[in-house]
């Protein structure tokens, strides 16, 4: 059985802040905990903040990588639960970006007693189109081609995806940072995570979520439209939807104050 120390090392867990309430920040695909640096100064004044990297990302322990475990989002959800248990956490306010919203949802369904609130930043339960009842934004063949590009031209894949995700209207430094983050992640770990992210269909799980949830969507997002936010709000029993006037898929970087203010209104 893996020890608490091994779990902390495995996921490069860092704890900052001194508040009574605990917030866990979970990064999106191809990123790491550094992407939360615009939000953490606001949070650490009043909350204990848990930061971590998924295995294969950032400064995680790469020797802990398990191809089978991390071939689906379920494996990452179990990691979230194990980190919470290793730190003896309870009543956690979980904030997940993009795919981490769904990973957090899976964790909250498996262990609802661990979490008091779930905040989803630019989430999508399914990126695939299933017309006419659901439009996730992408045809399967387009996503297959995007994944295959990782094998053919990994740098080209990163160059294409970074502005699509960050939003071309945002600071070019942010786009370059995201591109560099993609490039710094070994394709051996990035490709399975990408496949788990883009080909998962978690629409049915929305109905199982009982933890109070806040959905934060960007008004202009190439990956997750406002309609997806509306769909999720209609499916999650105890949920609220907040559309933030912004471009791109990374509200925690481009609009951290808006995310922070929405969070405070929600948990208060």
Q: In a structure prediction context, what are the per-residue pLDDT tens digits for the chain, which is 268 residues long?
A: 789 999 999 999 999 998 999 999 999 999 999 999 999 999 999 999 999 999 999 999 999 999 999 999 999 999 999 999 999 999 999 999 999 999 999 999 999 999 999 999 999 999 999 999 999 999 999 999 999 999 999 999 999 999 999 998 888 999 999 999 998 999 999 999 999 999 999 999 999 999 999 999 999 999 999 999 999 999 999 999 999 999 999 999 999 999 999 999 999 8
Distance CA 65, CA 58 (A): 13
Would you state the structure tokens that stand for residue 139, as one six-digit string?
């045809």
Do the Cβ atoms of 214 and 105 come closer than 8 Å?
A: no
Each residue's pLDDT tens digit, 34-64: 999 999 999 999 999 999 999 999 999 999 9
DSSP state letter for 201:
B
Strand partners, 50: 15, 24
Helices (H) and strands (E) in the chain, counts: 11, 9
Cα separation, 45 vs 66, whole angstroms: 36
- pLDDT at residue 171, as a whole number: 87
CB neighbours of residue 50 within 10 Å: 25
| Cα distance between residue 261 and residue 78, in whole Å | 29
Pull the structure tokens for residue 83: 């980190």
Query: Could you tell me if 36 and 44 are in contact, meaning their C-beta atoms sit under 8 angstroms apart?
Result: no
List the beta bridge partners of residue 121: 97, 216
Q: 130 phi and psi, to 5 degrees?
A: -130, 70
Residues with catalytic function? 98, 221, 249
Residue 130 CA to residue 116 CA, distance in Å, equals 32
Q: Tally Cβ neighbours within 10 Å of residue 257.
A: 10
Q: What is the DSSP letter of 122?
A: S
Contact 121, 95 (CB under 8 A): yes
| CATH 3.40.50.1820 fits domain 4-126+202-267 | yes
Structure token digits, residue 81: 């639960």
CB atoms within 10 A of CB 160: 15
Instruction: Please tell me the predicted confidence (pLDDT) of residue 1.
Output: 76
Residue with tokens 């661990």: 114
Q: 42 CB contacts (<8 Å, ≥6 apart)? A: 256, 257, 260
pTM above 0.85, yes or no: yes
């Amino acid at each position: 059985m893996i020890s608490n120390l091994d779990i902390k090392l495995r996921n490069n867990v860092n704890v900052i802040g001194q508040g009574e309430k605990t917030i866990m920040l979970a990064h999106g695909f191809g990123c790491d905990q550094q992407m939360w640096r615009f939000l953490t100064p606001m949070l650490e004044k009043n909350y204990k903040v848990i930061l971590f990297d998924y295995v294969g990302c950032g400064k995680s322990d790469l020797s802990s990588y398990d191809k089978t475990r991390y071939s689906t989002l379920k494996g990452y959800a179990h990691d979230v639960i194990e980190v919470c248990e290793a730190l003896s956490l309870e009543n956690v306010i979980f904030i997940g970006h993009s795919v981490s919203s769904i990973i957090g949802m899976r964790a909250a369904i498996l262990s609802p007693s661990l979490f008091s609130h779930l905040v989803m930043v630019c989430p999508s339960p399914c990126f695939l189109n299933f017309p006419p009842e659901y439009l996730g934004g992408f045809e399967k063949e387009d996503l297959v081609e995007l994944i295959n590009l990782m094998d053919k031209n990994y740098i080209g894949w990163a160059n294409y995806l970074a502005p699509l995700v960050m939003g071309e209207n945002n600071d070019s430094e942010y786009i370059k940072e995201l591109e560099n983050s993609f490039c710094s992640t070994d394709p051996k770990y990035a490709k399975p995570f990408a496949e788990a992210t883009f080909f998962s269909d978690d629409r049915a799980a929305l109905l199982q979520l009982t933890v109070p949830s806040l959905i934060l969507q960007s008004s202009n997002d190439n990956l997750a439209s406002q309609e997806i936010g509306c769909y999720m709000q209609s499916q999650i029993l105890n949920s609220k939807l907040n559309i933030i006037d912004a471009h791109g898929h990374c509200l925690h970087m481009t609009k951290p104050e808006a995310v922070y203010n929405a969070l405070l209104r929600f948990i208060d």
